[in-house]
Amino acid sequence: MFKKVLIVTVLLVTFASSASANTLYEVKKGDTLTKIAKINKVAVNDLRTWNKLKKDSIYVKQKLIVKKPTVATKTTTNVVSNNSKIIVTNKPKQETVVPPVQVKDEQLTIAPNAVQAMNLSTEGQAMYSFIVDFAKHLEGIPYLYAGNTMAGFDCSGFIYFIHSQAGLDITRQSSDSYFTQTANVVVPVIGDLVFFENTYKQGISHMGVYLGENKFIHAGSKGVEVASLESSYWKEHFVSFNRFNSLTVR
């Protein structure tokens, strides 16, 4: 009998630096980009690049990235399951990239239910640790439709930003498009994605990052915040926990 073979590519990443209070700087009265650059011993140009600033004007309580995340090492692990055994092979120089899938806003996408993502290894969760830590430091940044910078985020823009700042090669897409590039996770770990449907539109319409203990962080209408999956609203619209099929380091 033919058996389906599942291949899930997981990127194992070890970061030279982790998110900390020193990664972000909250603008105070009297601050300028030049002053902030001097305090943090970085170039003004770097501040513009890291924060995607088109001009030098900043505002009080704005949060700026003042330390660029760096990647130390990377390897790619292919996990192959034939329902009876698991074989793990390390291929440090080979990477698998899943091409972006374009999905129209009005389309309802269906999760690849036949595909169950494997649990990440300890090394693989190093990537998640950074992403979750960094995401928590962005709490309070306002909601901005189509936003994907420190000026404001929408839900998918937030996911794009925290993953790209972790050094991962990810394109800016909608939540339903990200959904098609992920596999369902039966037992989620901290750092996995969480998807919701029928919030402001039909179909997959919202996403966040799982924090454990039935909590997740997301860019909602009130800005970046931690919410509970136990609340009646999110419980009603919950779809699944998911994990990217593959991501590579830039």
Catalytic center residues: 155, 206, 218
Say how far apart CA 24 and CA 85 lie, in whole Å. Answer: 45
Q: Which of 167, 128, 135 is nearest to 24 (CA)?
A: 135
Hey, what amino acid is at 140?
G
Backbone angles phi, psi at 56, to 5 degrees: -85, 0
Query: What DSSP string runs through 178-245?
Result: HHHTEEE-SS--TT-EEEEESSSSSSEEEEEEEEETTEEEEEETTEEEEEETTSHHHHHHEEEEEEES
CB count in 10 Å sphere of residue 2: 4
Cβ burial, residue 224 (10 Å; 0-12/13-18/19+): buried
Q: Which of 202, 197, 201, 188 is nearest to 234 (CA)?
A: 197
Query: What DSSP string runs through 150-164?
Result: TTEE-HHHHHHHHHH
